[in-house]
Chains A and B, each alone.
Chain A
Amino acid sequence: MKKLAKSELKNLLKHWAGEYRVLAPTLGTQGDCLLDTFDEDSFTLDYKKTPLPPKSAFFPQSEAIFAVEKGEYREVISAKKTLLFGIRSCDMMGILQSASFMTRDRLDVYSEAKRDAATTVVLACPGPQNETCFCTTMQSGPVARKGFDLQFFDAGEFFIIQIGSGKGEAALSSFPLVDLDDDLADEKVEAFRQRSVGAIARVDSVPEAMNRLKDRTADEGVWEHLGQKCIQCGGCTFVCPTCTCFNVCDHPSGPGQGLRERSWDACLFGGFTREASGHNPRSTQALRLKRRHEHKLLDYHETDIQGGLCGCTGCGRCSDFCPVHIGTLEVARAIAESDNHAKD
């Protein structure tokens, strides 16, 4: 492992910015912290969860997939050499999970190209970012176990840098760094991990809900109630690190000219499953919510146990950004609690 004095971090980022498009935590004049193009003045280490997970760097909200110009067809695969600095372990898990999904049955060349061109630098989480964090429950954090190219640990005056891949190694190759004794580093990292795990509470209702969904003992009334509240904004899917559904739409701009774009879609919209006949197999908001949450918590239940790639990473954004509190945490609690009532 390597060691970097904290005072040297900005120099390292500037060094990287010469070679990569660097995305890093940025503090705006109005107090919002976003993962945006690195800028020395607005860069911050004092940041919380960014509203969007880094998935937008691999799978933007909208992107052209092919263009027709003067009748000629041209596939559009765009990728820039990018370094993402300061992503959290839950989001690293999100990147792995969606990569696994988008390469499984058919290779999604558009996101694959961006992943190939990307270097991921995780900053291990020192504790909960806010009250909706539950990575320890989903086994996705606070420290990344795999998939990263580099992982930084805050060790007071300096960062310990764990190298996770050849890409990570390459990123450090031309910057002077101090080697750190591996045993000492392991000890410090383990201490960091234990402190942090201790600070992020486990949420028992989540595994409880997963089990009840699996056993089919969840109260169906929960979906009815939640379905009445849902305002169909799609926000929970847009901010989810593992949601990768998209819609495809053509934008003709003249004879023999136009773009085909794909853009984020959400299974909570009626049109997502409406068939050409007008029939909709998921005809109510209750059914749509049920399917979404079963997909997140149930369908990946086994893979979670085996491979650690659950549909939910415990980042808590769906709870942060739902206008009417229908995030995974609230849903899990409702399922766990309602079931208990049923038993009483």
Chain B
Amino acid sequence: MTRTRTVCPFCGCGCSFYLVSEGDRVKGIEPSPQNPVNRGMLCVKGWTAYEFIHSPDRLTVPLVRKQGALVESTWDEALKIVSTRLNDIRTKSGSSALAFLSSAKVTNEENFLFMKMARAAFGTNNVDHCARL
């Protein structure tokens, strides 16, 4: 059993808890009593937040659309398609033809990099996330 400190993935309260894991499987939640946000208390969503992590529905391989259907692919192929297509569209239609939708569910570091990529790598300010929704 290992306990790893994390932040709840749901609402904006930012409750803190430990994920209790065995090997690569998360088995449950243990609250953090010292944390000033939630003082060890959680709502039902927090108490059960471990379960979707191992859902069989998780995406585990890159998918690429071929002949109309999404099929399993490799990172090399998928990433190459992404960079080539984005660059082609940029060359043909300009940076403003690209748009980037970031996420209120990923980390600060990832949001920062995503907006950096949009602005520095692809030259567009077309970057937003769903704060409004």
The answer on direct contact between A and B (beta carbons under 8 Å) is yes
Is A277 in the interface zone, CB < 8 Å from B?
no
The yes or no answer to B111 lying at the interface (CB within 8 A) is: no
Is A30 a contact of B35 with CB atoms below 8 Å?
yes
Q: Is A224 an interface residue (CB 8 A)?
A: no
Beta-carbon contact of B44 and A51 below 8 Å: no
Interchain CB contact (< 8 A) of B30 among A30, A34, A322 = A34
What residue in chain A is nearest B54 (Cβ atoms)?
Answer: A251
Contact of B44 among A232, A253, A258 (CB under 8 A): A232
Shortest beta-carbon distance, B58 to chain A, in Å?
A: 10
Cβ-based interface call for A60 (8 A) = yes
Interface centre among A32, A235, A251, A264 (most CB of B within 10 A): A32
Chain A residues with CB under 8 Å of B2's CB are 36-37
Provide the bound-state CA to CA distance between A148 and B74, in Å: 54
Residues of A6-34 contacting chain B, CB below 8 A:
21, 23, 26, 28, 30-32, 34
Identify A30's interface contact among B28, B32, B46, CB under 8 A.
B32
| CA A263 to CA B27, docked complex, whole Å | 9
- In the bound complex, residues from chain B placing their C-beta under 8 Å from that of A30 are 5, 32, 34-35
B123 interfacial contact with A, CB 8 Å: no
Known: A28-B5, A254-B56, A263-B51. A323 touches B41 (CB 8 A): yes
A61 at the interface (CB under 8 A from B): yes
- Known A-B contacts A36-B1, A232-B44; the reply to A51 vs B27 at CB < 8 A is no
Q: Report the minimum CB–CB distance from A259 to chain B (whole Å).
A: 9
Q: Pick the contact of B40 from A60, A258, A264, A321 — CB < 8 Å?
A: A321
Which one of A37, A52, A62 has the highest number of Cβ atoms from chain B below 10 Å of its Cβ?
A62
Number of interface residues of A (CB under 8 A): 36
Distance (Å) between the CB of B29 and the closest chain A CB?
7
Give the CA-CA distance A26 to B5 in the complex, in Å. 13
8 Å CB contacts to B: which residues of A284-330? 320-323
Whether B42 sits at the interface, judged by CB under 8 Å, is: yes
| A233 interfacial contact with B, CB 8 Å | yes
CB distance from A83 to the nearest CB of B (A): 13
Task: Name the interface residues of A153-194: CB closer than 8 Å to any CB of B.
Answer: none
Given contact pairs A34-B3, A253-B56, A322 touches B50 in the complex (Cβ within 8 A): no
With A34-B3, A235-B41, A323-B41 as contacts: A62 and B50 at CB distance below 8 Å: yes
Taking the nearest CB of chain B, how far is it from the CB of A187, in angstroms?
37
Name the residue on B nearest A239 (C-beta): B31
Asked if A281 is at the interface (CB within 8 A of a chain B CB), the reply is no
Within 8 Å of chain B (Cβ to Cβ): is A208?
no
Measured as residues with beta carbon below 8 angstroms from the partner, the interface class of chain B is 20 to 34
Contact with A along B8-50 (1 / 0, CB 8 A): 0000000000101000000111111111000011111011101
Are A51 and B31 in contact (CB-based, < 8 A)? yes
| Cα-based distance from A225 to B55 in the complex (angstroms) | 38
A233 touches B28 (CB 8 A): no
Is there contact, CB below 8 Å, between B3 and A321?
A: no
A252 contacts the other chain (Cβ, under 8 Å)? yes
CB neighbours of A57 from chain B (8 A): 1
Q: Does A56 contact B (CB under 8 A)?
A: yes
Which of chain B's residues have a CB closer than 8 A to the CB of A264?
28
For B55, list chain A residues within 8 Å (CB). Answer: 251
In the complex the two chains form, is B41's CB within 8 Å of A37's CB?
no
CB atoms of A320 and B27 under 8 A apart: no
Q: Is A238 an interface residue (CB 8 A)?
A: yes
Q: Which residues of A contact B (CB under 8 A)?
A: 21, 23, 26, 28, 30-32, 34, 36-37, 51-52, 56-57, 60-63, 231-235, 238, 251-254, 258, 263-264, 269, 320-323
Q: Which 5 pairs of residues, A with B, have the shortest CB-CB distance?
A: A61-B28, A253-B56, A323-B41, A31-B34, A233-B43
Known contacts A57-B1, A233-B43, then 6 further A-B pairs from the complex at CB < 8 Å, ordered by chain A residue: A21-B1, A32-B33, A34-B18, A37-B1, A231-B43, A321-B31
16 intermolecular pairs with C-beta atoms under 8 Å apart? A28-B5, A30-B32, A30-B34, A30-B35, A32-B33, A36-B3, A37-B1, A52-B30, A60-B20, A61-B27, A62-B51, A231-B43, A251-B54, A253-B56, A269-B44, A321-B40
